[in-house]
Amino acid sequence: MQFQIPRPQIPDCAWQRPIGLGWEKPYTVRYASNLDDGPWHGMPLGGLGAGCIGRSHRGDFNLWHLDGGEHIFQSLPACQFSIFEQPDGEDAQAYALCTEPPEDGTLSRWQWYPQGKGTYHALYPRSWFKYEGVFQSEIICEQFSPLWGGNYQESSYPVGIFEWTVHNPTDKPITLSIMLSWQNMVGWFTNTLKKPQVTVRDDGSPEYEYRPKWKDSTGCYNQWIKDFFRVGCLFNRVRLYDDVQEGDGQLAIASITNPALEAYYMGRWNPEGDGGEIWDYFAHNGTLPDQENETAAEPGEQIASAFTVRFTVRPGRTKKIPFILAWDFPVTEFAQGVNYFRRHSDFFARTGKNAWTVVRTALKHGDVWKEKVEHWQNSILKQEDLPDWLKMALFNELYLLTDGGTLWTAAKETDPVGQFGILECMDYRWYESLDVRLYGSFATLMLFPRLDKAVLEAFARAIPTSNDTPRIIGYNQAQAIRKAKGATPHDLGAPNEHPWQQTNYTSYQDCNQWKDLPSDFVLQVYRDYLLTGATDTDFLWECWGAIPVTLAYLKGFDLDGDGIPENSGAPDQTFDDWQLRGMSTYCGGLWIAALEAAIAIGKILKDHPAPRPELEPENYPACIENVIQTYQDWLHQARSVYEKTLWNGEYFNLDTESGSDVVMADQLCGQFYTQLLGLPDVIDREKAKITLRKIYDSCFLKFHNGKFGLANGVRPDGSPENPDDTHQLEVWTGINFGLAAYMILMGMQEEAMKVTEAVVKQIYENGLQFRTPEAITAVGTFRASHYLRALGIWLIYGVLTDFKQELYSKNK
């Protein structure tokens, strides 16, 4: 009896939508200056820091994050799968598997797939196209990249795998052919403006122009490769120099051949013509003319290549055929001349000539990779106490790990797993905003903890530095220096400068004045130590030198000497359009929590000498004891005034000087962190529970009946303090996820799930999938897509499992 190939089992919880079905009224941006590509976003393919390529549920490839930190969203119709089918004795049919023909009239000879005939499913890093109602065969394409938690090698690979499964349910043999065509885009992905001018957008944020070499294909050439059982097209470009520069490299499309699979190819064709030169062959009998042509493209010319795999499926049988999309662009350039190799170059040569090596690796190991991805996902999918919508969102929100302009550099002695960074978002293009990652970094912490620690070590190195360059602050047009010595930077820099070396890129506010960043840093350091086994004292030592420096800097804002730094009246914390004055519940609570964390760190390090002598302060360990005593004195002061000054009997006041009665949703962030980390409470826990219920009532139930999620801040009756408020009346996805996690800690799991489900529905029912924004409004608009803080949904899972799952227990 012949072995029958199993068909893909698509998890029930995967997000799904009919192929090509749009939205009548998708959410649009709140401000015209914000990025709005429209709702046609699908799951990205590619590894962390390797660049990624997105394919929408229309079937088109349209997202091109192949230049580190830069965003291109544009469909390339020639980059396409197509299927030919002919049942024995019947007429043939052929379709390109996208539901939208090109708007410019190109490829007019092609037949495009009808809308709604089948379903797209996504559960990152896997997605599926299930084609129904057109072909007699049952056809499923599963797409994935080798990304799973705790994996620091394959998760960096620049590859997407397409596993086609074709089943014949009829009583006749069926001949099919799968064609993959691709446009040669080698050399496109680098900024032609080597010194782009930084300007200030109308919302006060800095930006610079990105002008890629889009469709500059001069010198590109295509090669047909037959390598034992592997076949495919390799895309190259003539190089005039030996050193690999940004944009240099290769791309490849490939599959397999054997006695039961016939391969045909067209080495060079015009993607800007009517497409007849390949379609007429393909639609006739599923073949191509087998023409090789390695002629390089002339200026202004576009070239593409294509190949097919043709086969016959007998009645009742199933065939499975892999296709590979691989690329190798090993260099990322920031400012002119500032070049880094990407992480995948640690495992492939640094020549930019390894796309076919990636193909070979994927064809050899793809089945094992898929098993590992499935095993990783199943540890969550099999948990029956978790609702399907939460399982779906947990995995699909991880899209940002590759999509978020992600950097992951090659390793070196001082950075043994490389340096890592995710943009705050595509509108605010700077890396690892520290306030945002207070919630948003939990996914990285739980799945790739060594990378999260590398980010915090980069902040520790930046804190003692200074940059006195003056610049204009977008919020109020005041002048301020870029980075004060001792201040915790807001971010680790931007793609047009030198990330990790030039920090504090944002200039919307003077982040040297922010009252939450030093506390955020200390809390995240202790969190990463504690939640990864409480053994990595080397990591604590790498960060310790910055902790007394930045806490002393923040204490300098305690102008009245009560032990708590005051807010200035300008927005000087993560809600950077929201003025807090005097002692504030939000920043004051974080300050007390950070002091407790710093004391805990100091006590650990007293008993564990530094791994390198230069990390130990003079007079160790007595000097650490002195620092601990100082923090205890500050704590005594702060605790004596914080709770009694701000508690109003129902919740904590916003601050001491504004007179506002707004219920701030995230007011208990500091208390949440102390409970999460087992530190002494900031406030009485019963008052925390009373406050949390007030937040749920005012900011959720009374804010449009909980349809959108928790608003950042409303009056006790759910009304706005000012109808024109900005941040207060927005629902911030990541803040909601953080608050839901705290509700679970406080025994309010039912309420937490209602909040989380409301936000998840807002994202996945309104065309925001795979571009989750920071903020959603009650009038169907959003702000800041592809946002880092939304990864905080993994905090919910961490709290539900007490951070004990094997899922993220490896490689701590």
CA distance 226 to 320: 20
CA distance 543 to 515: 20
In 3-state terms, what secondary structure has residue 126?
Answer: strand
DSSP conformational letter for 120: E
pLDDT over 70 (residue 564): yes
CA distance 473 to 510: 6
Taking residues 429-453, what's their average pLDDT? 98
Question: Which pLDDT value is given to residue 783?
Answer: 97
Count CB neighbours of 373 within 10 A: 22
Question: Which pLDDT value is given to residue 1?
Answer: 43
Strand pairing category for 220-227 and 230-237: antiparallel
pLDDT in tens, 101-151: 999 999 999 999 999 999 999 999 999 999 999 999 999 999 999 999 999
Taking residues 492-512, what's their average pLDDT? 97
Question: Which pLDDT value is given to residue 372?
Answer: 98
Amino acid residing at 138: E
pLDDT over 70 (residue 534): yes
- Cβ-in-10-Å burial (0-12, 13-18, 19+) of 593 comes to buried
Q: Answer yes or no: are the C-beta atoms of 641 and 562 closer than 8 Å.
A: yes
Long-range contacts, 695-698 (Cβ 8 Å, 24+): 695/651, 695/663, 695/665, 695/667, 695/668, 695/739, 696/743, 696/748, 696/751, 696/755, 698/663
pLDDT in tens, 156-192: 999 999 999 999 999 999 999 999 999 999 999 999 9
In 3-state terms, what secondary structure has residue 265?
Answer: strand
Examine residue 125 and say whether the peptide bond preceding it is cis (omega within 30 degrees of 0).
Answer: yes
Enumerate the β-bridge partners of residue 130: 119, 140
CA distance 250 to 240: 15
DSSP conformational letter for 423: B
pLDDT over 50 (residue 290): yes
CA distance 16 to 398: 17
Q: If we measure between CA atoms, which residue out of 119, 74, 127 comes closest to residue 99? A: 119
pLDDT tier for residue 6 given thresholds of 50, 70 and 90: confident
Taking residues 760-769, what's their average pLDDT? 98
Q: How many helices (H) and strands (E) does the chain have?
A: 17, 33
pLDDT tier for residue 805 given thresholds of 50, 70 and 90: low
CA distance 304 to 600: 60
Q: Answer yes or no: are the C-beta atoms of 196 and 496 closer than 8 Å.
A: yes
Strand pairing category for 781-783 and 28-29: parallel
Question: Which pLDDT value is given to residue 614?
Answer: 93
C-alpha distances out from residue 298 to 185, 218, 721, 781, Å: 14, 5, 62, 45
Mean pLDDT of the chain: 96
pLDDT over 60 (residue 809): no
Helices (H), 466-507: none
Question: Which pLDDT value is given to residue 2?
Answer: 53
pLDDT tier for residue 808 given thresholds of 50, 70 and 90: very low
Write the CB contacts of 445 (distance below 8 Å, at least 6 apart in sequence): 452, 527, 528, 531, 532, 808
Can you give the length of the chain in residues? 812
Q: If we measure between CA atoms, which residue out of 97, 130, 129, 90 comes closest to residue 111? A: 97
C-alpha distances out from residue 261 to 38, 361, 597, Å: 39, 21, 62
pLDDT over 50 (residue 807): no
Question: Which pLDDT value is given to residue 684?
Answer: 97
pLDDT in tens, 199-246: 988 888 899 999 999 999 999 999 999 999 999 999 999 998 989 999
Write the CB contacts of 603 (distance below 8 Å, at least 6 apart in sequence): 628
